[in-house]
Structure 1
């Protein structure tokens, strides 16, 4: 019980968490210029590494990375687990502290998870973990460089997907967007599993007989679509949700990611069909 109290304090009651405020002055990476420059740098560096290796090291001989990818996967799994636990405890604390206000506005905890009241500011426990999630997306992009150094084909889907997720995470904070608590809970729970699975396979243990990572991504996006419908219904019939403009952009970007994943899966399926036909010939 004492250990649980310590974890609860450091994940939801620490003064730096409770007093957090998203600010262009005090929060690292919180400006629009940083967002655009960081995404541009990520894409340009990825393309530069890809074409430089193709010119300097002909063939597809991979560059040995040793245990670095496995360490990265294990670290990201632990980070995702921490963010999931932190935002779950923090949202519970916010519900506890503002229950008196909800009784007056006839708001339920379920509605709050999907729809922040109008006038919500990006401060407090939940937005602290939203900020940590935003920063963790930059660590996530390191997998692109690992893939390039291993001389695997550079995927435009991966570049766009990572850029879109970083942009959405920024919009959540900048506009105190509704729905972000559920989105972070879903994403970090799946990332904890996905990166744990990647660590499992990178240390030489057998993987699954189906595309585990893609399946998890499709599951998250499917849940996101259902939650977006809930946000829209609450916005129309419950007096409005905060950050609805950013939510619209978020919905469009989620739709784009879903299209990219489906296109990627169709491409994989077509390559399998072509390969089987060539084998028969």
Structure 2
């Protein structure tokens, strides 16, 4: 992954042609380029002495995208039930999808970062993206972020949180640059997300928790949340068939921990069903 050299000046950052290429790619030209530079400045990149890192813009962009996608789904021609609306929003507003879209538009090439472990993680994710194409909604089952840990699932693909962050921080940057005009932000991001949104709306995915509960061949029960003080998070365990199988998930909140436990259980049960089908065929 190409990054700016460490000895680059602030003026060179502002004049770097890659950012002009990015503006052309997303169809939006910044009036104040400092918003754009900040949106792609990782906390490790201390050579940018004009703007801060992207964290505040990411916080803002997360809220903006959540609202815009929620409004789009609510106003969609199909009248979805509240449960389906929740599942659709969860499928579209998450770090895995945002990171995948960031790579689809090569946003990682504009990230100002000097953290070698993060750069290596991004390179691995980009390579996965090249091999498999855009991440689909079922792939989320096999990917984890810094917010969640599926215990006993060492084969998980780790999604660089920074990629989802710059996707959100770009939304925050555009929102501020266009004088908080949500119509402009949505025009830009709907163009970026259109194929993903339409594919999701045509075949709404279920949340892992809902899918697990609707498996008629198994009894499912989630345990009470276990607070993890040392990790500032929570652990949730799901028991399958009266405790015959148990799967745990850890996350920074109860909701994330419960979802990761459901992911772990679903992944095992799916592999079990696939093996049974294979045995029946042979």
**TM-score, normalising length from structure 2?**
0.30
Indicate the structure with greater helix content: 1
Q: Which has the higher contact order (CA 8 A, sep 6+)?
A: 1
Where is the strand percentage greater, Structure 1 or Structure 2? 2
Q: Normalization by structure 1: what TM-score?
A: 0.30
